[in-house]
Structure 1
Amino acid sequence: MISLVLFLLLLCNPSALVSSLNGEGNALLSFKQSIYSDPEGSLSNWNSSDETPCSWNGITCKEQRVVSFSIPKKKLYGLLSPSLGSLSDLRHVNLRNNKLFGALPLELFQARGLQSLVLYGNSLSGSLPNEIGKLSYLQTLALSQNSFNGSFPSSIFQCKRLRTLDLGENNFTGPLPSGFGPNLFSLEKLDLSFNRFNGSIPGDIGNLSSLQGTVDLSHNMFSGSIPASLGNLPEKVYIDLTYNNLSGPIPQNGALMNRGPTAFIGNPGLCGPPLKDPCSDAVASPSSYPFLPSNYPPQNPDDSSRKSAKSRGLSKSAVIAIVIGDVIGICLVGLLFSYCYSRVCACGKDKDENGYGFDKGRKAKKECLCFRKDESETLSENVEQYDLVPLDSQVAFDLDELLKASAFVLGKSGIGIVYKVVLEGGLTLAVRRLGEGGSQRFKEFQTEVEAIGKLRHPNIVTLRAYYWSVDEKLLIYDYIPNGSLATALHGKAGMISFTPLPWSVRLKIMKGVAKGLVYLHEFSPKKYVHGDLKPNNILLGQNMEPRISDFGLGRLANIAGGSPTLQSNRMAPASDQKPQERQQKSTSSDGATVVSSASLGSYYQAPEALKVVKPSQKWDVYPFGVILLEMITGRYPIVQVGPSEMNIVQWIQLCIEEKKPLSDVLDPYLTEDLDKEEEIIGALKVAIACVHGSPERRPTMRHVSEALERLAISTD
């Protein structure tokens, strides 16, 4: 009977069946209800049966009060619940890199003790409410990579403890108000890049004496002159003003001094050092005489000739005699030029119109006698060159041997066709045909190709000779027998068999490529930057030793006037390309899926290469790191993760954050090499250092090479 009474009491009062959740827990459950999708179950242990939310995932409490709410990168899809503002002791909110959308609820700013609000990498929109100024304890405001719009709220200046202000990559508009300097004196990081701010740059930004790293105002619509007060910033601060509408001379004081042009590009109106565009002088020549030097004094056209003759003391008859002499001289030079030009044209008509392969221009070489070979140093850039030019004393073949040899197509690209050429004596060469026609800049081509021909290193493909004519431009290299690293790692369509590279060989290749880049960066005559490093450009020799190829090829192709559809250092970021353009897949004979590496070139480019004009050696460090990741993981530089894609750098960072075991990251073909785990992890650490987003934080190739050498001496 007693049991029945208890049952009826419980039935009448169902709340007695569960524990009573406190108010903060209910507020957080409201947030959970506003989340439409939680694919990783990040909120799965948020249960109303608990007394407090302090044991819930992502929640940190102090004295049973919620002080931190942190669930980053978990693909939460939904809205920010206004109930979060009722958490009176809340200090930190970190919901970065999720899929939250909608506006910031005004109630959120009722949590007056909030110290950090980190929401970057979502899809939040709307304006930034003025209520943000109520957060007087706020130190970090990171809202970049969203879709916020509207103007910059001046109420932010009430957050006088702010250290990080990151509003980059949004849609903010309008001018910036004054007030940075006198109010945000604790600010250490300022990023307003990739918005649509306009008007002039507030001069009081120069009073932010605590700033560190980079002050990023790039990719906006700021106009007017650069405030000289920006020079008052700490000298170690890098000021990025690229891609605005700024104009006038660049102030040369303090933090603005000794900066390279890369901090100012994309502002056509800027002038003066460090740019090559000089500022116009106050006494510049009138616009009707644009060919005169800028310091040329204004003239009266009516009396200029009279003054000239008078100043030199020449009589009228002397001037007439000089003019007649000049006319006669010009006529004689014209007749001589016409004679020589007719001889060259006659030679061109005698060309073998039925030539095949590399044969164009052979008869011209033998029959054109207007200019002798020993006069080639005095030729104009428009005069054709019809001879094979050796760049190595060991070159023992001539053009006739090359043209008679058997040729097989190795590959085609936007730069041209590459042939495997076997001479009669058995010597095998690789010949790249740069294309036909185009501008004839022989002298420029000659200077560039001869500089490249001087490079000698066991890990760089040697350029042995070249040939130039109007119709043909050829580069002759050593032939490297074992194909490219891209094929060795992933195979290619049509391969009958595929033998994966063991770890010892991969490490050997890593070391060799590093040594080749160290040579280019530090020991080559001009301390070169390769600028287009990728697995396709790393060839493998007889003993699988790596040889870096295609150095300087893009520039040579442009000079030669080919059809450079080559991938340049200014490719659009991958996010601007359609998936079918980024990955072109085919199936090999063994059923494996093979991705066309020609479609992956942008993933090997350093992020800053898209907006910085002057190449840096750190541009080579980044793709080297991507290649290391590719060799360690066996994955392409674009990784499929569920229905979405991410580049291999993002993917490896995600694996580290989620503490994935090495076996989940490692190329399956390397499972037998797990006894070399220490070496593999060492190489992985080197790769991660190389792909750092900031070029200043990446190691030099010398340090990279030394680190790899310490991993295992026995692999050399």
Structure 2
Amino acid sequence: MVPFPCLPCFTTKSNTTNHFTPIEQLCHRFSLAQLQAATNGFNPSLFLGGEGPCQVYKAHLKAHGDVVIKRFKTRSPAGEIEFRAEVKILCQLHHPNIVPLIGFCEHKNDKFVVFNYVPNGSLYDCLHGTNNNNVLVPLSWKQRLHICIGVARGLHYIHFGTKIPIMHRAVTSSNILLDHNLVPKVADFGLCKKQPEGKGESRPKPPRVELRENLELSLEYLEPEYRITGRLSHKSDVYSFGVVMLEILCRKEACFSTPGRDCCEYLVKWAFDDERKGVPEKIVDPSLTGKIAPACWEMFIEIVQRCLASVEERPRMGEVEVVLENALLLQERADAVKELV
């Protein structure tokens, strides 16, 4: 087995000579037979999708109701690493904006992670109509602001609210799930990194981490500096979240095709080119036209631009969270005035 390099030894057996906690004491262990029964033998009709070394199925467990089972192709080193990272880290995270882990299964070469089923799918599904019904979920501007705030809170928590800072490294609209109340849950922690505790510092800085060669990331969400340095940091998550916020505002994919052009266009470049920069009507989702208060717009677009700036100029996620909360407050005040008028 390939160990996850930044985490303690992953073990499934109690060992009195080892001070590490057995994984069964951190979360529930399912048998392979239970998961096979819950998916009718991993019936193709229950397949929800998957990319890289993972396949995702919808399932039903008597004690938990509808769940999602993530199956790892662990014959590849990447699948083994992602499985161990996801279980070991998620079982120690507890936050309303982080997807909750139900349990895991490890049976020979078969490895699975079990989560609660999220009925509204991913943020990507809701924005771009790629859910099972292929129907766009109508999101108001305030709903979108609440989603942005929730994601910022979840990312701030993993950056600075845990004992050891974590870098997610795969912040995309596909990895943000929405529950029945549209509360966002940051998901897919298979590529994240933990930093060992520093010596002599009460709060060590998250390190810049070399990206392993077989790590698959969406280039449209990846900071430009990576192409030069080959390293990621917690500010890389901030950049990726800036792209997600722009995606929410424009309701365009982070990389999209335009009529008459053979190549895809990056949303960041498209939204801030000379023709559109500073002109809300040219980039905002048409369904939001006239519904965003000017003061809210200015605050929102400014924090998006700061998130997409160079590493040194990017804010921490805690500041992003506060700015978004203030933007929501400005929108609510403007709406209240409009109602009075």
Category of TM-score, reference length = shorter chain: 0.7 to 0.9
| Residue identity matched to 1:669 | S
Q: Take 1:554 and 1:527, find their aligned partners in 2: how far apart are those partners?
A: 10
When residues 445 and 630 of structure 1 are mapped into structure 2, their CA distance, relative to the original with a 3 A threshold, is closer
Separation in 1 of the partners of 2:82 and 2:144?
A: 38
Establish whether residue 667 from structure 1 lines up as the match of residue 285 from structure 2: yes
- The answer on 1:702 being equivalent to 2:318 is yes
* Superposed displacement of residue 536, structure 1: 0.4
The residue aligned with 1:568 is 216
**Cα 1:621/1:378, change in 2 over 3 Å:** same
1:491–1:498 CA contact under 8 A, matched in 2: yes
Q: Hey, what does 1:3 align to over in structure 2?
A: none
Q: Is the 8 A contact 2:122 2:176 kept in 1?
A: yes
The secondary structure found in structure 1 opposite 2:167 is coil
Give the match for residue 26 of structure 2: 391
Report the CA distance between 1:649 and its aligned residue.
Answer: 1.8
Amino acid at match of 1:568: E
1:519 positional shift: 0.3
Residue number in structure 1 paired with 2:336: none
Q: Which amino acid aligns with 1:485?
A: L
Q: Deviations over 1:58-111 (max 9, x none)?
A: xxxxxxxxxxxxxxxxxxxxxxxxxxxxxxxxxxxxxxxxxxxxxxxxxxxxxx
Distance change in 2, residues 1:641/1:518 (3 Å): farther
Tell me, what secondary structure is at the counterpart of 1:507?
Answer: helix
Aligned mate of 2:168, from 530, 542, 547: 530
1:445 deviation in Å?
A: 6.8
Residues 245-256 of structure 1 aligned to structure 2 (within 5 Å): none
Q: How much does 1:495 deviate?
A: 3.3
Q: Tell me, in whole angstroms, the C-alpha distance in 2 between the residues paired with 1:606 and 1:645.
A: 18
Look up the match of 2:149. Answer: 511
Pair 1:637–1:396, CA change in 2 (3 A): closer
Counterpart of 2:174, as a letter, is: N
CA apart distance, 1:661: 3.3
1:679 maps to which of 296, 299, 302: 296
Mapped contact 2:30–2:103 kept (Cα < 8 A)? no
Matched residue SS, 2:98? coil
Distance across 2 between alignment mates of 1:467 and 1:397:
5
Deviation by residue 1:606-647 (Cα, 9 ceiling, x = unmatched): 111234344311100111111111111122223538747542
Cα drift, residue 463 of structure 1? 2.2
- Between the aligned partners of 2:81 and 2:136, the Cα distance in structure 1 is 45
Alignment CA distance shift 1:568-1:525 (3 Å): farther
On the 8 A contact 1:679/1:712 being kept in 2, the answer is yes
Q: 1: distance between equivalents of 2:79 and 2:16?
A: 14
Q: 2:252 aligns with which of 616, 621, 635?
A: 635
Taking the aligned partners of 2:264 and 2:216, their CA distance within structure 1 comes to 23
Structure with larger Rg: 1
Distance 1:554 1:443 in 2: 10
Distance in 1, Cα, partners of 2:251 & 2:58: 29
Corresponding residue for residue 231 of structure 1: none
Distance 1:425 1:659, change over 3 A: closer
Preserved contact between residue 271 and residue 277 of structure 2 (Cα < 8 Å): no
Counterpart of 1:619 in structure 2 is 236
CA pair 672-682 structure 1, distance change in 2 beyond 3 A: same
> 1:711 maps to which residue?
327
Q: For 2:222 and 2:80, locate their aligned partners in 1 and report how far apart those are by CA, in whole Å.
A: 30
Contact preservation (8 Å) 1:429, 1:478 = yes
Aligned equivalents of 1:469, 1:438: Cα separation in 2 = 16
Is the alpha carbon distance of 1:419 and 1:705 closer, same or farther for their aligned partners in structure 2, counting shifts above 3 Å? same
Instruction: Confirm or deny: 8 A CA contact 1:459 1:516 kept in the other structure.
Output: yes
Question: Secondary structure at the residue paired with 2:271?
Answer: helix
Deviation, 1:404, is 2.5
Partners of 1:461 and 1:531 in 2: CA distance: 16
TM-score relative to the length of structure 1: 0.37
Structure 2 distance, partners of 1:443, 1:672, is: 47
Which residue of 1 is the match for residue 105 of structure 2?
A: 467
Is contact 1:503–1:673 with CA below 8 Å preserved after alignment? Answer: yes
Contact 2:29 2:103 in 1 (8 A): no
TM-score normalised to the size of structure 2?
Answer: 0.74
Is the contact between residue 243 and residue 308 of structure 2 (CA under 8 Å) also seen in structure 1? yes
**CA deviation vs aligned residue, 1:413-443 (integer Å, no higher than 9, x gap):** 1222111120134522221111143569999
Q: Which residue of 2 aligns with 1:405?
A: 38
Offset, 1:651: 2.0
CA distance in 2 between counterparts of 1:497 and 1:443 reads 35
Give the Å deviation of 1:684.
1.3
Which structure 2 residue ranges, 5 or more long, are not aligned?
A: 1-11, 41-45, 194-211, 333-341
Name the SS of the counterpart of 1:420 in structure 2.
strand
Superposition pairs of residues 208-357 of structure 1, within 5 angstroms: none
CA contact (8 A) 2:73 2:79 kept: no
What whole-Å deviation, never above 9, does each CA across 1:352-379 have from its counterpart, x for those lacking one? Answer: xxxxxxxxxxxxxxxxxxxxx8655779
SS at match of 2:272: helix
> Does the 8 Å contact 2:39/2:59 carry over to 1?
yes
Q: What does residue range 50-449 of structure 1 map to in structure 2 within 5 Å? A: 389=24, 391-392=26-27, 395=28, 400-406=33-39, 408-425=46-63, 427-438=65-76, 449=87
Aligned to 1:150: none
Aligned partners of 1:638 and 1:549: how far apart in 2? Answer: 21
User: How far apart are the structure 1 equivalents of 2:318 and 2:280?
Assistant: 27
Q: How many matched pairs?
A: 293
Could you say if the C-alpha distance between residues 525 and 507 of structure 1 is closer, same or farther in structure 2, counting changes exceeding 3 Å? same
Residue aligned with 1:434, SS: strand
CA deviation profile, 1:665-698 (whole Å, cap 9, x unmatched):
2111212524x33323321111111111x20111
Distance 1:439 1:667, change over 3 A: closer
Q: Name the SS for the 1:704 alignment partner.
A: helix
The two structures, once aligned, show a CA RMSD in angstroms of 3.6
The reply to whether residue 649 of structure 1 matches residue 268 of structure 2 is yes
**AA of the residue aligned to 1:476:** V
Q: Give the aligned residue type for 1:405.
A: A
- Candidates 135, 140, 146, aligned match of 1:497: 135
- Native 8 Å contact 1:621 1:701 kept in 2: yes
The one-letter amino acid paired with 1:664 is K
> Separation in 2 of the partners of 1:443 and 1:707?
36
Q: Secondary structure at the match of 1:467?
A: strand
